Each structure stands twice: as C-alpha cells, then as structure tokens.
C-alpha cells in the first residue's frame, strides 16, 4: 500500500511538472521575469518603468516586423487603436527579435506612435519563456523569434492577463496566424482594473 501511495505521489508530481513545463510564458499573477531594458527604434535603451503607463502596459511579443505578415498586420491594427490603450492608462509596446534597423524601417513606414523594442540577442524572449525553439533549428538564420503573445502588466510588474491563440493542431505553442482581437485585449485590460 505504501509503495502505491509513493507511486501515485510521484506520478502527480511528474504530471504537475510536465504541465508547468508546457505553459507558454510566465503565469498570470507572477512578476515579469525581466525589466525590459532594450533598445527602442529611437535608439534609446528603455525599461519597464520608462515604458509603462499609469496603469501598466500591454506587452506584445511578435515574431518579426521584417518577414511575418501576421505580425505586421497585428502591429498596424494596434497602432491604429493605440489611443484606446492609452485612454485606459496602458501603454502598448512591441518586442521582436529583429534588429533595431529593421524595426526602425517598419516604424517609419507605418507612422508608429508606440515603442518597438529590439531583442536581437533574445534576452527578454528567453526570460519570458516565449522563444519558439520547437519549430526552427538554431542553425537557421531565422532562429530566435518568439511565440506571439500579449501580456497585460500592472504598474508593479505583475502579469494580469496573458493572451494568445493556441495552435489548432493541439501541439504546444501559439498559433502564428491568429492573434487575439484588439477588443478582447481591451476587455482584458478593463477586467483587470
């Protein structure tokens, strides 16, 4: 009987650890794992305290502003409605693995009004646990892009909401073609207040 209890106990622990290992990014209610100190398209290093609004920020991880049309569409749509975020005291920002030059080109062509941060070395992407390492080899020049996620973070750095669309095939990760609707993101912000 004791052996069965031990076996059940270890099975529960292993399943729990497996489930935790499969979570994409930090959990809601936890502190952000990095202060977001990265270079902006303006050529200045900014961090969470510099970037947040009165009520926090909406942190968008995107794959690439260079080659991902889904990321480009999402960013342009958010930019068009950026004031709705700001009216809620939330500053929207984007992080990608692109170089600052690629980001600056996209920023200028699309009249951006919000910061884009370059995580070309994957420091923040890795800290947040959103590196999309399952789909591409480290030898591939495109290696380093994140899963597309949105984090709503309060002014103290606590994650209030984590939004993404899961892959349709049931494998681990986010669907790169589909992104949370802006209205759903704004609703998450409103519900966090």
The DSSP 8-state label assigned to residue 84 in this structure reads H
pTM of the model: 0.86
Q: CA-to-CA distance for 58 and 97, rounded, in angstroms?
A: 18
CATH tag for 24-192 (out of 3.20.20.80, 3.40.50.2300, 3.40.30.10, 3.40.50.2000): 3.40.30.10
Neighbours of 34 (CB within 10 A): 18
Q: CA-to-CA distance for 179 and 74, rounded, in angstroms?
A: 7
Query: What pLDDT, in 10s, does the model give residues 28-86?
Result: 999 999 999 999 988 899 999 999 999 999 999 999 999 999 999 999 999 999 999 99
Query: What pLDDT, in 10s, does the model give residues 90-147?
Result: 999 999 999 999 999 999 999 999 999 999 999 999 999 999 887 678 888 788 999 9
Q: Where are the domains of the chain?
A: 24-192
């Amino acid at each position: 009987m004791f052996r069965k209890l031990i076996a059940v106990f270890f099975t529960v622990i292993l399943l729990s650890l497996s489930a935790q290992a499969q979570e994409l990014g930090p959990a809601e209610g936890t502190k952000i794992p990095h202060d977001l100190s990265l270079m902006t398209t303006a050529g200045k290093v900014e961090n969470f305290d510099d970037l947040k609004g009165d009520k926090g920020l909406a942190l968008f991880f995107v794959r690439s502003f260079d080659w991902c049309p889904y990321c480009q569409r999402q960013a342009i749509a958010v930019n068009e409605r950026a004031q709705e975020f700001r009216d809620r005291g939330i500053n929207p920002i984007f992080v990608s693995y692109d170089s600052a030059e690629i980001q600056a080109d996209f920023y200028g062509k699309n009249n951006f009004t919000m910061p884009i941060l370059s995580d070309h070395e994957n420091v923040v992407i890795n800290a947040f646990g959103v590196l999309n390492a399952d789909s591409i080899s480290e030898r591939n020049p495109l290696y380093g892009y994140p899963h597309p996620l949105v984090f709503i973070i309060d002014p103290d750095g606590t994650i209030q909401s984590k939004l993404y669309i899961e892959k349709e095939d049931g494998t681990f990760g986010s669907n790169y073609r589909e992104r949370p609707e802006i209205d759903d993101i704004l609703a998450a912000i409103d519900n966090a207040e």
